[in-house]
Amino acid sequence: MQIPSNIFREYDIRGIADTELTDEVIEGLGRAVGTVLRREKKQKISLGHDFRPSHKRLVQALLKGISSTGIDVIQLGLIPTPLLYFSVSYLNLDAGICITGSHNPPEYNGVKIHFKDRPFFGTEIQGLYQLMKAGDFEKGNGKLETAEIIKPYREYVRKIFNFKKKIKVVVDSGHGMGGIVAPDLFRDLGHEVIELYSNLDSTFPDHHPDPSEPKNLRDLQEKVLETKAQLGIAFDGDADRIGVVDEKGNIIAGDQLLLIYARAILKKKPGAVIIGDVKCSKLIYDDITKHGGKALMWKTGHSLIKAKMKETHAELAGEMSGHMFFQDRWFGFDDAIYAGCRMLEIVDDTSDSVSSFLSDLPKTFSTPEIRVDCPDDQKFDLVKRAVLEFKKKYNVIDIDGARVEFPDGWGLVRASNTQPVLVMRFEATTEKRLEEIRKIVEDQILQLSK
């Protein structure tokens, strides 16, 4: 079997559906996952999928592989990734697998794996590759059954919330999976929902389903202003990342969104541990501390964050990219639909407008995430050398790349775990200083890359 090693990423398996995710490869992957489960004395998993053209073929191949090891599979059908995670807890299963291309271009697809007792990533994903190469699989005859999870999810979430007001909200699902759950759920909760792109379309004709890119939120911004809505909520392709726009059409950055959630939780749970990733503003960590929380900076990556939450018993975590993880009144996994409900709850609890939520934060100047192409086989080495160079002159936080700290700002360069790019972000107290810090970091990277 020809197994492309590049499809085994840090957090999932991902590749071009027709050429890399062949039936043979995906069946082998199913055998490897089933083998890991059997050897851990686990027996039952759920399987869901998104709407990409390749999903039927991949579901069949994965089912064939998993059941051949003696593992029982509950098929959930077409669902957003967070509902797959939910099914593992709700149905008391050992693990779950979702076939999803998330926010990647239409020709891609992938597999996300979720174990009930721990995040499944990194060396464990590489372990699947090694098992497939060795052909060292368990044998058995697993049972197949089906279950409905969208209705139980909606009912479960509905019981958590009690709204006093009817909120007008625009929901942009970007033709992704959020559209089949979120608008109806928000209406269940009593709100007025204006929908954008709720119909599933794997060609993403209107904009790419990635709310971390400002250009993908333009339609949402315009619709919020046009309808005089109180806020707008956007989802990525598989609905595990959220984007939010206030009533004035301004984008609330991922780290600011984390802070809005953190302040609400800290009112009820003073001293709670709140985790942000290395791309978050220094203001966020300072403000969490000021409001009585224990702020913790950690590596970027949903699996890495989930593992850190488990270790530190954090109530909340968030990333700049829009992954939001609630342990408080939830299960600790990243669920943008649930995060949307929490945002609506915060709006319901105040007479203030969304644009005023963080009006007391000091003013700083920052860039969004900047992505610079860099080959997969060079990016980690380049960042490692950058850390050493920056440490000669500056204070550097090196938990994930180089976050170079200055008295009046910071600059970050890290290697993406999911794409052949370097990710950079900068923040400073003035625009002039922002440009200076950016030049210091970018010049060093340019020099090293030569």
Same domain, 142 and 197: no
State the pTM of this model.
0.96
Q: What length does the chain have? A: 450
Same domain, 119 and 158: no
Same domain, 345 and 376: no
Tokens of 208: 């790419």
Same domain, 280 and 216: yes
Q: What is the per-residue DSSP string for 66-117?
A: HHTTT-EEEEEEE--HHHHHHHHHHTT-SEEEEE--TTS-TTEEEEEEEETT
Same domain, 205 and 352: yes
Mode of pairing for the β-strands spanning 242-246 and 316-318: unpaired
CATH of the domain at 340: 3.40.120.10
Using the 3D structure, point to which of 119, 148, 177 is the last residue of a domain. Answer: 148
Using the 3D structure, point to which of 356, 379, 406 is the last residue of a domain. Answer: 356
Distance in angstroms (rounded) separating the CA atoms of residues 248 and 8: 42
Which of 314, 255, 299, 311 shows the shortest CA–CA distance to 280?
255
Contact in structure between 77 and 51 (CB atoms under 8 Å):
no
Distance in angstroms (rounded) separating the CA atoms of residues 113 and 93: 13
Domain enclosing residue 263, as ranges: 152-356
Contact in structure between 145 and 133 (CB atoms under 8 Å):
no
Same domain, 115 and 90: yes
C-alpha distances (whole Å) from 120 to each of 13, 114, 306 are: 11, 6, 10
Using the 3D structure, point to which of 109, 132, 148 is the last residue of a domain. Answer: 148
Same domain, 335 and 196: yes
Number of structural domains the chain divides into: 3
**Residue 362 DSSP symbol:** P
Tell me the torsion sign for CA atoms 371, 375, 379, 382. Answer: negative
Mode of pairing for the β-strands spanning 108-115 and 370-373: unpaired
Same domain, 438 and 333: no
Distance in angstroms (rounded) separating the CA atoms of residues 90 and 82: 12
Same domain, 391 and 298: no
Same domain, 122 and 254: no
Contact in structure between 142 and 66 (CB atoms under 8 Å):
yes
Distance in angstroms (rounded) separating the CA atoms of residues 169 and 192: 6
Same domain, 159 and 49: no
CATH of the domain at 397: 3.30.310.50
Distance in angstroms (rounded) separating the CA atoms of residues 170 and 232: 5
Residue 311 is which amino acid?
Answer: E
Tokens of 33: 């996952």
Question: What is the chain's pLDDT, residue by residue, as a tens digit (450 residues)?
Answer: 789 999 999 899 999 999 999 999 999 999 999 999 999 999 999 999 999 999 999 999 999 999 999 999 999 999 999 999 999 999 999 999 999 998 888 899 999 999 999 989 999 999 999 999 999 999 999 999 999 999 999 999 999 999 999 999 999 999 999 999 999 999 999 999 999 999 999 999 999 999 999 999 999 999 999 999 999 999 999 999 999 999 999 999 999 999 999 999 999 999 999 999 999 999 999 999 999 999 999 999 999 999 999 999 999 999 999 999 999 999 999 999 999 999 999 999 999 999 999 999 999 999 988 999 999 889 999 999 999 999 999 999 999 999 999 999 999 999 998 788 999 999 999 999 999 999 999 999 999 998
Neighbours of 18 (CB within 10 A): 12
Same domain, 242 and 274: yes
Burial of 114 (0-12, 13-18, 19+ CB in 10 A): buried
**Is 102 one of the annotated active-site residues of the chain?**
yes
Which of 325, 359, 355, 358 shows the shortest CA–CA distance to 342?
325
Residues 67, 68, 102, 202: which is the catalytic one? 102
